[in-house]
Amino acid sequence: MGKIVISENISLDGVIQDPAGEEGFGFGGWFDPATADREAWAKALTDEALGAEALLLGRRSYEYFIARGWESRSGEWADRLRSLPKYVVSSTLEDLRWTNSAVLKGDVVNEVSKLKQEVNGDIVIYASGRLVTTLMERDLVDELRLMIYPVVVGAGERLFGKTGDRKPMRLLGTHAVGESLVLLTYQPARDA
């Protein structure tokens, strides 16, 4: 059975919006790729990709990866992402340029539930805030991996907006990444 894993870059105050500063958000650019932690960050994400069995993305996140040339990049991380099956939740997307990509159309909850039955292992979701919110609401998320950046952004879209109910979490692990990043891993505490 598959395990839905959310993998997010997130500020101390929970912001996920425009980390690279490319979307025109006034508070964007809080992820600084020039930091000394870049190499450690890339290794952590490469290791995560090597342990994954599939990617699950929303349409906007898929288009973000395509716009930045991930379908033709080289290197261990890019090679692994290219080789993984990629499932894109979209009702409008038709042109899939990234190898091993397929569109999941229809009811997202049903489609992701089916995917969890078909894939054996980690199904990693990068970014895809709207998709994450939907899956969290429906208790389809099995693990959260949050790469915490030492910055308070102050405003912006947060990973967790309003939810219909409390979502207790259980800490699975902490890992220092470089000199200033921390990877926190949680799982829903469904018995709480």
What are the tens digits of pLDDT across the range 91-136?
899 889 899 999 998 899 999 999 999 999 999 999 888 899 899 9
Token output for 40: 């450690």
CA separation for the pair 158, 146 (Å, rounded) = 12
pTM of the model: 0.91
* Tokens 């997130």 belong to residue: 10
Residue range 24-38, pLDDT digits in tens: 787 877 777 556 688
Cα dihedral value 61, 63, 68, 73, nearest 10:
90
In this structure, are residues 84 and 54 in contact, taking their beta carbons and an 8 Å threshold?
A: yes
pLDDT bracket for residue 141 (50, 70, 90): very high
Residue 61 within any structural domain of the chain = yes
CATH number of the domain that 184 lies in? 3.40.430.10
Q: Which domain does 48 fall in, by range?
A: 2-14+36-188
In a domain, 62, yes or no: yes
Alpha helices in 93-171, H assignment, sequence order: 108-118, 129-137
- Total H helices, total E strands in the chain: 5, 8
